[in-house]
Amino acid sequence: MEFLGPSLAFWTIVLTVRGISAYVSRFDELRWTHEMRKELLELYLNRMPADMIAHHFGCSPAEIIRQVAYLVLRERGLSEDLTAPNFGKRWTWADDQILRNEFQLRRPVKTIARTLGRDRLGVAFRILGLFDPPIPKRVIRAYQIDGQSGLHAESVRENQQAEALCSQCRDVVQFCKCQFEERETPELGR
């Protein structure tokens, strides 16, 4: 075990087991303010990948998964377990099916990890990556999340315009020939 040194936000330890190094970060719980967690949820809801969110907050993707898992799955203290039989191995279709079944049965991450022979952090990563677990009502209320959270007004308007249908041909307005011809006419000076 090697201590790499403290920083204001977190400390990192490198563990080497069976020749595999893993970085374990422990963030100061006070570092995650209410506003930061709200922003984290908004980015998660907009499907930003964990590594990009991590870069945004200046932390590891594992820490992002820990925070999202805490908020969405009510799981605390997720960590890598280098001794898990399937640690670091590729997920198979069968693993995903077992994960899906166990998750739908509302089994805790700890139980699912034991069943699959994986670490809890890896199982949480996979759950949050494959499924869209519902955000608990308590979290929605606490962080005042709404259906438009994190979406910019411009992108919402663009989506609404893209979905608008032409009243004449019932095609999407953006690709409608009727609307296209009407818009082209004034520009051509006819």
Note the pLDDT tens digit of each residue in 86-136. 999 999 999 999 999 999 999 999 999 999 999 999 999 999 989 888 889
Rg of the chain's alpha carbons, rounded to an integer?
Answer: 23
pLDDT of residue 176: 64
The contacts of residue 186 (CB under 8 Å, 6+ apart) are: none
Handedness of CA 67, 69, 71, 72 (dihedral sign): positive
pLDDT of residue 146: 78
Note the pLDDT tens digit of each residue in 41-70. 999 988 899 999 989 888 889 999 999 999
pLDDT of residue 91: 94
124-142 residues labelled b (16+ CB within 10 A) or e (exposed): bbbbbeeeeeebeeebeee
48 or 21, which is more confident: 48
Note the pLDDT tens digit of each residue in 133-185. 888 999 999 998 876 654 443 444 455 555 566 666 666 666 666 655 554 44
CB 1 within 8 A of CB 14: yes
pLDDT of residue 113: 95
Q: Write down the mean pLDDT value for the chain.
A: 75
| Angle ∠(44,48,51) on CA atoms, nearest 5 | 105
pLDDT of residue 171: 63
Give the model's confidence band at 85: pLDDT under 50 very low, under 70 low, under 90 confident, else very high.
very high
Q: Which two tokens stand for residue 88?
A: 């670091």
CA–CA separation, 132 and 32 (whole Å):
23
Cα 133 to Cα 74, 90, 106, distances in angstroms: 11, 22, 11
Q: Does 13 score more than 80 pLDDT?
A: no
